[in-house]
Amino acid sequence: MPSILRIRSLEYGFVEVSYQLSTSLADATWSKQQVIQAFEDSGNLKFLEHINLSNTDKCSEAAPAYIFYMRGLQCSRDPRLAYHFWANFAGRHQFHLFTGQPKNECINAAIYLYVPDLDQIEKSLAAVADELKDTKFAFERVNRGAETTREYPQEKWHEIFDTSKFDHLKVNDPYGNELRLNVTPRNYNSINKSLGKTLPVTNDVEGVAQGFPFLLYPCRPGIAQGISRFFEHYLGAKTVVTKKEGNDELYRTTVYCGPLQAIVFDEQESQRDNKGEYDGHHVCIHIDRFKEFYDKAYNESMNWNNVLFFDRCDTWFEANRDQQYRILHLIDPVDKKFLMSFEMEIRSAQHFRYLIHRSDVTEEEEAANEVLPILPTFPLALKGSAAVIVMQNNTLPVADGVKSPLPPGKAPMHPAALKRFPTLRRNSFLFQLQDQIQMHKETEPQRQRQQEVKQIYRILQRAPEAREAHEIDTLYEWVLKNGSTNTIFQGAQEIICKTICREMTLLELPAQGVVCYQGDYGDTFYVIISGSVSLFINAKPKPRSVIDEDNNQRSLCVDDEEVKLQPEQYGTFIKHITDGGTFGELAVMDPTARRSCTITCDEPTSFICLKRGAYQRLIRITNSSQLDFTQVEFLETMYFFEGWPHGELTRLSNRLRQVHYPADSYLTRIGADANVVFFIYAGLVQETVPMIQLLNENGSVQRCAELESNLAKRRMQGVGGKRITQQRRRTELELTLYQDHDICGEYPILFNRSTCSTDLLAGTLYMLSVGTPTQN
């Protein structure tokens, strides 16, 4: 029987082809017009190509998978793959038997096949029974002697008839997967052959099975109609939902995969506890309108990567390159509820392995698509002498003793002929696999980096107190691998460093966004998660022009709205810092440090931010802890009360009250009444002075003044009381950090000031306070 090794064009370029079939001459075939009409009527799904089942076997002829599928079921091993089993049947379909995996997959489904003769298959299954006696292999002849088959309805191909009442074989493979074998309906095989090419076979021996009519998946009640909506909405499939006989509450959904094939989801009472969890197997289907339905899956984050395979579909570039994408979960498009896990490898109808023939086939193209060498492993290091088959600037050595795969009398195709068909190299599976392996090696670090970044995003978007321990561990490990974070964490205990990681926050800025300006006081350390920034230094800073902010009248807030400068106005470009880089570490270590350059975003950029207060607070926790002591004992440890009589300390301690301030709350604010002194026994207090930076019309810092000083007010006024267009920017100058056994807030009291002149900002703080009468 001649094999037709052709791929269809996008416009369904079918032709009528004569076949030498084993069926009778009376068998009907479909014309070109009938084929086209059938594909149009069957919806957007065009072909159910293979089902992938994993097992723990080694790839050898002694493996149970080989014994059952190749010898018992009489499939033909695909010669294009040496390190897994592809069992070809029906001329156009396959079992992909994925060897060497952690477990044997036994799926909750029944696989239906059509075979020409049940007696022949029954004999071959019986012949391998002894070799598979230690596995789950079993078979049973059901309804022996009953009617074997029926006439296949050409015009009603979409009617899937019940095969259980006919004579058939019920078979379990060595791993427990259920197969149902029926005699091929009359006319079915010839119609099936009308649809497209046949797969390459080993030693010109085709598989016995003639059809792959449908897969039957039992499912829990209540989801069949949602499954129908899923396939119609997300894949454009033709589906039919019917009520089951004898129970009006149970439904069956039939999803058509081109003419002659379907996937059936059958609600059953026995499946009520079936949650539809992922079992590891997948089916491969081909669809039209590939870009349209990829976009639908992508927009709803339904596309999925199976790490066991090389293809990726995170972007349209990747999906278009591989001409396929994957979906794992079935979701009801109406209410977005999960229905069941069902992995589908969704290929374009233009995929190079699509099995429909076209009419413009040349001899050179046919030669270029010949079966490739069978290699024991891939990639393979060969020793000793080797023959070489030349294929488009690549050489594939054939090991000693391996028979050449080319038919007798056919020489290998000359490289010059292949150059006239630049797409043919991709049509070779082994070459494509070689390309995918190389691409996988090149892109794997980048892919791992992207996955890490996505994980960091998810962690940082959660509130610090809501982050789980394993998320903190992930953040800690990621930060340690980047830039100068090791310097920040140097000498600190791991538990403290992880606590610092819990305090980190996420900052996202757009392209051209300014992270900081040269000359600013800084209190934040940055780690770039994604994106990049540019550094500019101006030896003679040119100020930026912005609208003034009036302290007493309505005006624009400069903190919220600033005029963006062009990059060249920031000064001389120094360098770029990309993802993983860090900057601003001096701001965490030294409160008096100013920003030495202006930093802007080259593109939308995301940062991990660490505030100085959080870092200092956490580091100091390592040096002190809350102790049990009397208030008199506490006062005796303080330098301020050194030399005081014990009686005076006792009277003072009786007037102290214990207070607790949460993190980031103010003990006092500038201008508030000065009537309390604070004695710190655990925690940290930051003393700052609010400042106003006065900038000229170009934005350069001219003067700094205290917030309420007359200088600030004078700088706001021009001659005759006219306002000068000048920017004010509020900032804070850090004076000191108070910690355990320090006193703060005493300055206004000692110097008879009625109001506070600084701000006191608390970390998580425990302290004793005393009021003004006691101080006096």
For residue 287, report the phi and psi dihedrals to the nearest 5 degrees: -130, 160
614-627 residue pLDDT tens: 766 655 554 444 44
Q: How far apart are the first and last CA of the chain?
A: 113
Evaluate if residue 251 carries a pLDDT over 90: yes
> Which residues constitute the domain of residue 396?
375-423
**For residues 23 and 708, which has the higher predicted lDDT (pLDDT)?**
708
322 with 390, same domain?
no
655-710 residue pLDDT tens: 677 777 888 888 888 888 888 888 887 788 888 887 765 666 655 555 555 554 44
Asked if residue 312 belongs to a domain, the reply is yes
- What CATH code is carried by the domain that includes residue 748? 2.60.120.10
- What CATH code is carried by the domain that includes residue 290? 3.10.180.10
Number of domains in the chain: 3
41-91 residue pLDDT tens: 888 998 888 999 999 888 888 999 999 998 998 888 877 677 788 888 766
The proportion of the chain whose per-residue pLDDT surpasses 90, expressed as a percent, equals: 20
pLDDT of residue 438: 62
Which of the given ranges, 31-40, 296-305, 516-525, has the highest pLDDT on average?
296-305
268 with 388, same domain?
no
46 with 190, same domain?
yes
203 with 138, same domain?
yes
Does the pTM of the predicted model rise above 0.75? no
Evaluate if residue 354 carries a pLDDT over 50: yes
Asked if residue 585 belongs to a domain, the reply is no
179 with 324, same domain?
yes
96 with 237, same domain?
yes
Asked if residue 743 belongs to a domain, the reply is yes
The proportion of the chain whose per-residue pLDDT surpasses 70, expressed as a percent, equals: 64
pLDDT of residue 211: 75
Asked if residue 388 belongs to a domain, the reply is yes
Least confident stretch, 294-308, 412-426, 588-602, 662-676: 412-426
Distance CA 394, CA 405 (A): 17
77 with 213, same domain?
yes
391 with 282, same domain?
no
Asked if residue 93 belongs to a domain, the reply is yes
Asked if residue 343 belongs to a domain, the reply is yes
679 with 767, same domain?
yes
**For residues 397 and 534, which has the higher predicted lDDT (pLDDT)?**
534
Contact 152, 255 (CB under 8 A): no
pLDDT of residue 21: 31
Residue spans of alpha helices (H) in 255-385: 290-299, 316-322, 363-368
Average pLDDT for 292-309: 90
pLDDT of residue 65: 92
What is the secondary structure of 548-594 as a DSSP string?
---SSS----TTT--PPPPGGGG-EEEEEEETT-EE-HHHHH-TT-B
**For residues 363 and 174, which has the higher predicted lDDT (pLDDT)?**
174
668 with 767, same domain?
yes
Q: Choose one of 423, 456, 483: the last residue of a domain.
A: 423
Q: Choose one of 400, 423, 446: the last residue of a domain.
A: 423
Asked if residue 391 belongs to a domain, the reply is yes
Least confident stretch, 360-364, 640-644, 734-738: 360-364
pLDDT of residue 40: 81
183-227 residue pLDDT tens: 887 777 666 666 655 555 444 445 555 778 889 999 999 999 999
pLDDT of residue 752: 83
pLDDT band at 180 (very low <50, low <70, confident <90, very high): very high
Least confident stretch, 213-217, 590-594, 741-745: 590-594
Residue spans of alpha helices (H) in 104-223: 118-127, 188-194
Provide the total of helices (H) and of strands (E) in the chain, helices listed first.
21, 34
**For residues 436 and 19, which has the higher predicted lDDT (pLDDT)?**
436
200 with 344, same domain?
yes
Chain-wide mean pLDDT for the chain?
73
Q: Choose one of 386, 402, 423: the last residue of a domain.
A: 423
Distance CA 523, CA 613 (A): 8
407 with 300, same domain?
no
Asked if residue 602 belongs to a domain, the reply is no
**For residues 210 and 712, which has the higher predicted lDDT (pLDDT)?**
210
